[in-house]
Amino acid sequence: MSLYFDVLTIFPQIILSYLQESILKRALDRGIVDVKVYNLRDYTMDKHKNVDDYPYGGGPGMVMKVEPFYRAIKDIKADGIERTVVMLTPQGRTFNQAIAKELAFCNKRLLLLCGRYEGIDERVRDLLVDDEISIGDYVLTGGELPALVMIDSMTRLMPDALGDEGSALQDSFSTGILDFPHYTRPAEFMGLKVPDVLISGNHKAIEMWRKEEALKRTLERRPDLIQKHKGALP
C-alpha cells in the first residue's frame, strides 16, 4: 500500500529538505510514500515569473494569482490519475487524526496547494479545489509546514512506515484518547522511579496499567475526548 502526494509551492526546498531525513526518507526509499514537488513559478508566463499581484480593493500584502495555479493543476492532472486537490488554508476544516486516516485510506492522490502572502485568489478555490485543510487556529507564513504536517501524519499510518507496527496504533488519538506515559532506562533518575508494574514482566497487569493511565491522563487533560468517544473507549 502506498500514499501519493503532489505538492505545489513556490518553496520546493522546504518540502524536499524535510523528506530527506528519518522516517519520511525511509518511507520514500521503500516506496511506501511518493511525493512529487512542483514549483509554481514554472507555470508563470512572464519573464519575472510572478506568482502574486496587488489585491483588488487595496489593502496590505499581495495575493497569489489564479493563472499559475490553473496551469500547474491542469498540467499535473494531464496524466489522468484521479486526485483530490487540497488547499492549505486557516479557513479549512481543522486537521486531526480522523481526517489523516480518512485521507490516507481514500485511495486517491492528494495534490496539496501551498499559499503564501495574503493567500490565494478566491477563483482557485471556486474552480480547482476539492477540499480545504487548516492545521489549527493560527496563521503561518505559508502552506508548506501544513503540507508537511499532513504528509508526515498520514505516512506514519501506513503499514511498514514505522519500525514497530504497533506504534501508530497506540498513539494519542488513534485509540480515541491520549497515549499512556512511556519510560526507558535507567529504572531510576533523580529519585524518580519507573512504575514497578512496568518491570514486573506481568503483561496483563502492564496492559491494564497502560489503559488506566491513558484514561486518567485524558480525563485530566482532554475530557472532551472522553465525551466524544464514550461508546468506543477501551
**Catalytic member of 42, 67, 132, 171:** 171
Q: Cβ 29 to ligand SAM, closest distance in Å?
A: 28
Closest by CA to 229, choosing from 108, 117, 111, 98, is: 98
Residues at the site binding ligand SAM, with contacts judged by CB under 6 A = 88-91, 114-116, 118-120, 134-136, 138-143, 146
**Catalytic member of 90, 109, 144, 210:** 90
Q: Cβ 218 to ligand SAM, closest distance in Å?
A: 25
> Nearer to ligand SAM by C-beta: 72 or 88?
88
Closest by CA to 222, choosing from 172, 153, 154, 182, is: 172
Q: Cβ 103 to ligand SAM, closest distance in Å?
A: 14
83 forms beta bridges with 109
> Nearer to ligand SAM by C-beta: 115 or 176?
115
In the residue annotation, 122 being an active-site residue is answered as no
**Catalytic member of 34, 53, 118, 130:** 118
Q: Cβ 11 to ligand SAM, closest distance in Å?
A: 11
> Nearer to ligand SAM by C-beta: 129 or 225?
129
**Nearest-CB residue for ligand SAM:** 115
**Torsion of Cα atoms, 163 then 168 then 172 then 174, to 10°:** 180
> Nearer to ligand SAM by C-beta: 92 or 176?
92
> Nearer to ligand SAM by C-beta: 68 or 90?
90
Q: Cβ 93 to ligand SAM, closest distance in Å?
A: 10
Cα distances (angstroms) measured from residue 149 to each of 137, 146, 174: 15, 5, 16
In the residue annotation, 156 being an active-site residue is answered as yes
Annotated catalytic residues are: 90, 118, 156, 171
